[in-house]
Structure 1
């Protein structure tokens, strides 16, 4: 990789960490310069604006989290295990999140809702991609006979992601992983109910 490409990648990485910690609006160009440890001119040799950096930074952060999710999912043999893998990646969201500052999708969605259409569009794409992955896992679980045939894959994907993101938000706000841990326990119990091999009475 050329020196210029390395510098550009370094700016994106440091900006992604900065934005995910303190938000796009809460991060100035000078903050980016300080975080990257370069001069102002170095920024403009690679980017035309803070907006351009923000879009690249979101892609970088989402890519890091996506890789960790894919790795966790690949280790599971069952559809239920693959759905729980999403939660496991954020199990210690307070002290060891998959990316600095928490969930890039959640952080970007909340901040860019009415203020940054381009970032909002990226978050919408991230939402759609995540839900599609979850739906594919659920549909495979139904086809394999692991899940009951009557299951609504779309509804379950929405419920799964909502429960995960809610756990992330509450745990980050309180500074305790207990909300995510309780959601993992509750979701595990729910999954046992929708599995075809669930013990009688569950």
Structure 2
């Protein structure tokens, strides 16, 4: 059973995660956080050493939600092609999935923190690398089972695939037009069948 302190910490993280993600580290003030949580500055600092620790916990919370959702798509039953289809289907509705988070945590935090918070920027890069690795494992499984043929090493293909997905997420975010996401994913589905199918 969780303690009151643990519940308070979890409440703070869940409440402030979308705020940090939407507004960025510099753009988020302590008054934004106290207003959202209904807690005093002292209460927040009683649970977190400083704003840095809170921002990192907020990113890790969103990152974990994303990684768990992707793991569900990529490690379930089915062939490698079916699991890749699960991945593209997930990203078709990625804007809906990330809405409550305040947008894509990798994109938002990765760009925002690049020049003002090295630890957050590194955490965003690590999350992106983890996703690329998960995709590469699916590709390796498909090659091992004789299901896929790959023109390049699995990790290289995974990196390019994720680059195209995140590029679509970026353009959909910037333009506020989800067609960038849908059209790119539709193209990727054709590309995957053409490039990888036997």
Question: What TM-score, normalized to structure 1?
Answer: 0.89
Counterpart position of 1:71: 72
1:162 and 2:163 are equivalent in the alignment: yes
* Correspondence 1:27-106 to 2 at 5 A: 27-75=28-76, 77-97=78-98, 99-106=100-107
Matches within 5 A, 1:1-202: 1-75=2-76, 77-97=78-98, 99-148=100-149, 150-197=151-198
Structure 2's unaligned 5+ residue stretches are none
Higher mean C-alpha deviation, range 145-154 or range 169-178? 145-154
Give a deviation string over 1:180-202, Cα, whole Å, max 9, x none. Answer: 111111111111112343xxxxx
Specify every segment of 5 or more residues in structure 1 that has no aligned partner in the other structure, as ranges.
198-202
* Alignment CA distance shift 1:130-1:99 (3 Å): farther
Q: Distance in 2 between matches of 1:90 and 1:24?
A: 26
Distance 1:150 1:73 in 2: 21
* Cα deviation, residue 109, structure 1: 1.0
Give the total of aligned pairs: 197
Conserved in 2, the CA contact under 8 Å of 1:142 and 1:151? no
In 2, the alpha carbon distance for the partners of 1:189 and 1:159 equals: 15
Rounded to whole Å, the distance in 2 between the matches of 1:69 and 1:94 is 14
Distance apart, 1:27 and its partner CA: 0.6
- Note closer, same or farther for the CA distance 1:96–1:105 as it changes in structure 2 (3 Å cut): closer
In the TM superposition, what is the alpha-carbon distance from 1:2 to its structure 2 partner? 1.0
Which consecutive segments of 4 or more residues in structure 1 shift more than 4 A? none
Distance of 2:96 and 2:171 partners within structure 1: 14
Structure 1: distance between partners of 2:98 and 2:126: 22
RMSD, matched Cα:
1.8
Q: Do the aligned partners of 1:64 and 1:99 also contact (CA within 8 Å) in 2? A: no
For 1:107 and 1:79, how far apart are their aligned partners in 2? 30
TM-score, with structure 2 as normaliser: 0.91
